[in-house]
Structure formats: C-alpha cells, structure tokens
C-alpha cells in the first residue's frame, strides 16, 4: 500500500490509500472518522500489515452513497428482523429525518462527528432525546451490519454518544380519583379493560390482544403473549410481543378474576372470533384501540377526574405498587421492562415515598418484640 494521503477536515482526519490485490488489480480506498492524526496513522499501519500478510485479499464492495446503502439494508435485512409495525415506524423515521441529512454523502465519508452534529440538529429542532436515541439505534445497527458485510471498515456510530434520556414524572390519579373513575365505568362494555389496565399494568394493545386461553383462572395468572396493533396496509392484526421481557405472566387478584369471569359469561360465542378474544367489537371483530381511546377520554370527563392519557393507567399501576412498598423488581416484571433500572429511572419521583416506608418498617422491625 502507498503512503496515505491524509487530510484534516472539520469532522476529523481522513486518508486515501492505494493498494494492489492478489490478482494485480489496483484499488483506492478511503478511510475516515478519526479523531486525531495518531489514530489515522495507527489504522493505516494496521491495515497495511494485514494486506501484506494476505489477510485481506478480497476486494471491498464499493459502499456507494448513504441513501443507496440504507435503503438496500432496510429492505434486504432490517425489515425481516423486527416486527412489521416496528419496521414501518422506523422507515418513517429514516425517510423523514435520517435520509434528508445523510443521503448524498458517500457511506464511508460519514464520521462520528457528523453523526453527533446530526443528533444536535434534531434536538435543537424540538425532537425529544428518546426520538434521537431511536435514530442512534437505527444508524448503529445499519453501520454495524455494513462492517460485518465488509462494506465498511469502521462503524462511526460507536463513538457518537446519543443524548441522555430524562424521564418525566407521569400524571396519575390518587386512590380516591381512581375509585371514582372505576365507579363511573361500572357496567360499561369496557369496564374490564380499565380494571386490567389499572390492576395489571398491561399495555393497551396487550389487553386487546388477550385470548381466553391466556388466562388461568385457577392459578390467577394472565400470560402476555401478543398485542393487537394497527399495521399499515393490513389494518388490525395480532402480533407477538416484541421482547422476551414483554412475554410474561402476571398474577391477578380475586377481584380481577371475578370481573374476567363475568366478562366471559356475557359473551355470545357466535359473535366472538371463534370465542377466542377477551375483548371484541359489537360485531365480534377486534376491538379498535382508537375507539377505546376515544371512549376513555369521554369517561374521564364524565367521571370529573383529572385528565390523563390511557397509557398513564400503566403508570398508575406501577406507582400504586411502589407506594405500597412493593419490590421494584416485581414491578419491573409485571410491566415487562428490560431491567429494574428502567423502572427505577421512570419512577424516580416515587423513591422518596419508598424511602419513608423503608425507614418506618426498619424502625418497627427493630423495636418490635421477637
């Protein structure tokens, strides 16, 4: 390999180099993403040695532009490895945000600094850190596969730190407000839906995706296996829950068991998708999550309780458990979180209440008679 043609640009150091493969053909390569000149030189020496030792005899694929690569990667690899709804959502993020910024660049010209600048521009444009982290995850996966497939030498996303997440405190009802709402929905078609949301912490789609075979009335368990979701071009479909943690079992109380038994007794098997689904529309089809949302907002107004989102019922469940002194690990398992740290981060505002309860329990234990 010839001596590198090294230059410095705003985003860092890069160099071009030429080499001759085992068949005598001459090639030119471009390497970028180096923070210092020393890093670029070290990379050059390592790469030169590998070629001299015959480790790299094959010709690298011309990566082309970022736009060409990301579309090929998405359609040939990514969309077959994730849920259909996830693929549709993330392609929308790619098309609306990532492609307009990087599309014209050669893939191997994109540096870590350029990616950091992209994150900053999106934050300044009003997007949340959570959304920007989604960009980071997509880019990292795409570039990493580019390295694995020998399209790229390095993954510049590895050194581009995404913004930190700042969990906001969620609005939840008090015990009296929760009781008032449940009194208001008593006897309505979706009463059991709201009971499950509040007393199990399940997501809206998970509740609407329940089948009777997912409920063990004797053991008092609900097995979360799937979720009802709207898929672009297909309408409402049942899909497997997205992660191993999301596929879980949730213990339910005698009150919830009784309400579910009442729900089952009311259903007409002829109008219930082969009598499988716990919740259906009036015609026996899947219950539309958007209709449930509209009804929830109406019932909140009628109950005259503070306005919260339907997803906040999940947060209400977690908050009630934590304030009652429940182990955060148990709460994390019921919610289907990846690990307990996520639960503690989201519900950090409840921590002072847990601390007070722990202090009181310790004192009671210390001074109690054995």
**Non-local CB neighbours of 237 within 8 Å, separated by 6+ positions:** 84, 228, 229, 230, 231
Pseudo-torsion of CA 117, 119, 124, 129, nearest 10°?
A: -160
How much is the pLDDT for 70? 94
How much is the pLDDT for 57? 45
How much is the pLDDT for 206? 95
Say which CATH class 175-359 falls into.
Answer: mainly alpha
Greatest alpha-carbon span in the chain:
89
Pseudo-torsion of CA 219, 206, 278, 327, nearest 10°?
A: 30
Q: What are phi and psi of 341, to 5 degrees?
A: -60, -35
d(CA 66, CA 99): 8
269 and 275 in contact (C-beta within 8 Å)? yes
Say which CATH class 66-159 falls into.
Answer: mainly alpha
Question: How many residues are recorded in the chain?
Answer: 370
Residue 139 Cα to chain centre, angstroms: 15
Low-confidence ranges of the chain (pLDDT < 50): 1-3, 55-60
d(CA 123, CA 132): 7
Reference 351, options 322, 312, 330, 309; nearest CA is 322
Reference 250, options 220, 277, 279, 228; nearest CA is 220
d(CA 230, CA 75): 21
How much is the pLDDT for 248? 92
């Amino acid at each position: 390999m010839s001596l590198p043609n090294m230059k410095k640009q705003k985003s860092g150091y890069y160099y071009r180099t030429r080499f001759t493969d085992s068949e005598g053909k001459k090639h030119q390569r471009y390497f970028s993403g180096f923070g210092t000149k020393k890093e670029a030189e070290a990379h050059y020496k390592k790469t030169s040695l590998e070629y001299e030792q015959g480790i790299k005899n094959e010709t690298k694929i011309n990566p082309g532009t970022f736009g060409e690569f990301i579309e090929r990667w998405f359609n040939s690899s990514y969309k077959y490895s994730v849920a259909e709804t996830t693929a549709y959502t993330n392609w929308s993020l790619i098309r609306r945000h990532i492609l307009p910024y990087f599309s014209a660049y050669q893939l191997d010209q994109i540096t870590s600094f350029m990616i950091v600048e992209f994150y900053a521009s999106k934050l300044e444009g009003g997007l949340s850190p959570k959304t920007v982290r989604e960009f980071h995850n997509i880019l990292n996966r795409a570039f990493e596969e580019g390295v694995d497939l020998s399209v790229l030498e390095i993954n510049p996303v590895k050194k581009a730190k995404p913004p930190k997440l700042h969990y906001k405190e969620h609005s939840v009802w008090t015990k009296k407000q929760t009781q008032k709402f449940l009194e208001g929905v008593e006897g309505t078609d979706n009463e059991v839906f709201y009971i499950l949301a509040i007393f199990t912490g399940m997501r809206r789609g998970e509740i609407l995706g329940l089948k009777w075979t997912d409920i063990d009335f004797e053991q008092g368990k609900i097995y979360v296996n799937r979720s009802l979701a709207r898929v672009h071009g297909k309408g409402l479909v049942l899909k497997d829950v997205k992660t191993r943690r999301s596929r879980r079992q949730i213990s339910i109380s005698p009150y919830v068991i009784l309400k579910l038994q009442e729900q089952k007794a009311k259903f007409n098997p002829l109008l219930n998708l082969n009598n499988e689904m716990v919740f259906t529309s009036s015609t026996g089809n899947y219950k539309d999550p958007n209709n449930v949302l509209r009804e929830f907002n109406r019932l909140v107004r009628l109950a005259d309780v503070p306005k919260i989102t339907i997803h906040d019922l999940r947060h209400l469940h977690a908050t009630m458990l934590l304030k009652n002194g429940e182990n955060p690990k148990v709460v994390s398992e019921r919610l289907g979180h990846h690990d307990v740290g996520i639960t503690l981060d989201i519900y950090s505002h409840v921590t002072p209440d847990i601390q007070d309860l722990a202090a009181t329990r310790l004192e009671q234990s210390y001074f109690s008679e054995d």
